[in-house]
Amino acid sequence: MSSKGIRVGSCHIGGPDLVFILGPCVMETPAFTRRMAKKIAAICEDTGSKFIFKASFDKANRTSVSSFRGTSLHDGCRLLAEIGGELSVPVTTDVHSPDEAIEAAEFIDVLQIPAFLCRQTDLILAAAGTGRVVNVKKGQFLAPWDVKNIADKLIAGGCERFVFTERGTTFGYNNLVADMRSIPWMQELGYPVIFDATHSVQRPGGAGDTTSGDGALAPVLARAAVAAGCDAVFIETHENPARALSDGPNQIPLRALPKLLKQLHAIRKSIA
């Protein structure tokens, strides 16, 4: 576990308690997004879990041009802010350009930089300048220690509250591998580390015009990451992954979430 933490709402990433980032991959509809948030909040209350609600307003890096992407930036971020206010939880979503970072920051507590964009200097600086917490997903092409250069950009942009997410490394074509050594290596640099159990089991472009994945392994990697000392766990979940409009093969069924959260808390307690 890292010695330097950040606070966002009631969550302390890098503190004594395990934090979760939970939600569906994409905002399929406003009603769906609200329903998922309420169900996740109830599960987290029952399991004693601190969580940040996530949902993407736009999946800008879909494999196919015809794939479902989401809603508009303004409508999506405003909806997330409403949900966060109603449930008293922080919210997060992806941003893909400097303009998006600035507009989203009016509504969003944690700005997430996608892995493919983690070296985009203008985007990093724009997110840093908003005053919001910034979560940068480590690119599949980066070594763990390379995040220091991203941290330097964030600090230069005026950001003091940022975290990094491990989400797997490219392992040949259409495959990723999660190296748990990345967690302590990044923490040794002084940064809190989140583990993304969902996207670490992706098979990018593995189904030809869509991304496939091994969603059944997401809980396995989540358990391993907590045992390795990660500060938070990112998990995408869906009422019915088989019918999800994005990343269905990687999301865990909502009904499986309570058991998994209890397991992760137990592992965390055993290594504390």
Identify the pLDDT of residue 202: 79
Identify the pLDDT of residue 208: 55
Residue with the bigger pLDDT between 248 and 187: it is 187
Mean pLDDT over all residues of the chain?
A: 93
Question: For residue 13, what are the β-bridge partners?
Answer: 6
75, pLDDT greater than 60: yes
Under the banding of pLDDT at 50, 70 and 90, the label for residue 82 is: very high
Q: For 164-184, what is the mean pLDDT?
A: 94
pLDDT in tens, 190-230: 999 999 999 999 776 655 555 567 889 999 999 999 999 99
Q: For 256-266, what is the mean pLDDT?
A: 98
Query: What is the C-alpha to C-alpha distance for residues 34 and 69, in angstroms, rounded to an integer?
Result: 18
DSSP annotation string for the chain = --S--EEETTEEETSSS-EEEEE-SB---HHHHHHHHHHHHHHHHHHT-EEEEE-BSB-TT-SSTTS--B--HHHHHHHHHHHHHHHT--EEEE--SHHHHHHHTTT-SEEEE-GGGTT-HHHHHHHHTT-SEEEEEPPTT--GGGHHHHHHHHHHTT---EEEEE--EE-STT-EE--TTHHHHHHHTT--EEEETTGGGEETTTTSSS-EE-GGGHHHHHHHHHHTT-SEEEEEEES-GGG-SS-GGGSEEGGGHHHHHHHHHHHHHHH-
Tokens at 119, concatenated: 């070296």
11, pLDDT greater than 70: yes
Pairing of strands 169-170, 176-177: antiparallel
Under the banding of pLDDT at 50, 70 and 90, the label for residue 61 is: confident
Closest CA to 69 of 55, 48, 88: 55
Q: For 248-269, what is the mean pLDDT?
A: 95
- Number of Cβ within a 10 Å radius of residue 64: 12
Identify the pLDDT of residue 54: 97
2, pLDDT greater than 50: no
272, pLDDT greater than 70: yes
56, pLDDT greater than 70: yes
Identify the pLDDT of residue 66: 65
142 φ, ψ to 5°?
Answer: -105, 145
Identify the pLDDT of residue 64: 66
Under the banding of pLDDT at 50, 70 and 90, the label for residue 65 is: confident
Query: What is the C-alpha to C-alpha distance for residues 96 and 89, in angstroms, rounded to an integer?
Result: 23
Identify the pLDDT of residue 163: 98
Domains defined along the chain, listed by start:
6-271 (3.20.20.70)
Least confident piece of the model among 3-7, 94-98, 171-175, 204-208? 204-208
145 φ, ψ to 5°?
Answer: -75, -15
181, pLDDT greater than 70: yes
151 φ, ψ to 5°?
Answer: -60, -40
63, pLDDT greater than 80: no
pLDDT in tens, 124-154: 999 999 999 999 999 999 999 999 999 999 9
234, pLDDT greater than 70: yes
DSSP annotation string for 20-41 = EEEE-SB---HHHHHHHHHHHH
Closest CA to 147 of 119, 116, 180, 177: 119
Identify the pLDDT of residue 1: 44
